[in-house]
Amino acid sequence: MTSADFDDHRGRALLDRPEEYYAAVPRHGARVEDHGPLTLFVREGQGLAVLCTSRTGMAGPLQATDVQKVRVRQRELGIPESFEWVAETTPKLRAAVEESVLVVHEHPLMVLDPGTPAAPLEAAF
């Protein structure tokens, strides 16, 4: 799929799936701290890495000051100052993160079109 394909209903549904994952999975091994439009997952014990992401369904404004507040909290906790998000669903977060003087490393969101037949398992090796 191309980024243009995400504009239709099916594409939006595909983008919702990783957002649902990011909102649900870290909760099993982390304490959740809400910081305005951002959510910080703080690992408790062994398990998932610390993660800060935008709130699912966030529609309000997002500023560099929101990012700075979370970075202060991350420093207080002695954890990495890092953020993860899906650019197609939260495009405002990149500007806020960059304005807070963090470097953004971009990784493509890879999605297999549901209409594409999967290769047989033995052929994949």
Mapped onto helix, strand or coil, the DSSP state of residue 54 is strand
pLDDT in tens, 20-38: 777 776 677 788 888 888 8
Position 44, amino acid: E
Cα separation, 36 vs 60, whole angstroms: 10
pLDDT in tens, 38-94: 888 888 776 555 666 776 555 667 899 999 999 999 999 888 888 888 888 888 889
User: 41 with 52: CB under 8 angstroms?
Assistant: yes
